[in-house]
Structure 1
Amino acid sequence: MAKKTLNQPQLRPEVAEKYTATITPCVIEIQRLGRTVDLTQLTLEQANELVQDPKFIYLVPKKAKRKRAAPAVNK
C-alpha cells in the first residue's frame, strides 16, 4: 500500500472510509477507458464505479473489521 507522509495528496474522506489507495493518490490516465482520473478529487460514486472494473487496481475496498465475541461466562 502507499506510504503516508504529511504533504502527500490524499483521497477524499468519504472515499478513504471505504477504499484504500494502492498508490499515492495522483492523476491517472486510463487509456483503455479513454479518460483521466484524479484520485484526490474522486467522489464516492465515481470510486464505486471504478472499483467494479477488475482491471482498476488503484483503489481496493477496505476489509470489514471482525468483532470479537463476548467471552462466555461460566457459572
Structure 2
Amino acid sequence: MTSEPDNKPTDMLIWRKSSYSGSGGGQCVEVAAASGVTYVRDSVRTGGPVVRVPATGWAAFVEFAARR
C-alpha cells in the first residue's frame, strides 16, 4: 500500500463489486484496476477514501484469501 497522494481521477475507473455482495448494503468493497495499480473503495460510500495497492500486492492478497 502507498501513502503517496494519488491525484488520478478515480471516477474515470471501471469499478467492480464482488458477485458475493448483496444489494442490502453491508460490508462490501469495489475494486478497479489500472496500469500496475488496484484501487479499493467502500461500495456504499463511493465518494469516500480510496486505497491504492500495487497490482502485485493485490494479486498476493487475493491468492491468500482464496486459500482461506
Give your verdict on TM over 0.5.
Answer: no
Of the two structures, which has the highest relative contact order with CA contacts closer than 8 Å and spacing of 6 or more? Answer: 1
Higher strand share: 2
Q: Please give the TM-score of this superposition, normalised by the length of structure 2.
A: 0.27
Q: Please give the TM-score of this superposition, normalised by the length of structure 1.
A: 0.25
Give the greater-gyration-radius structure (CA): 1
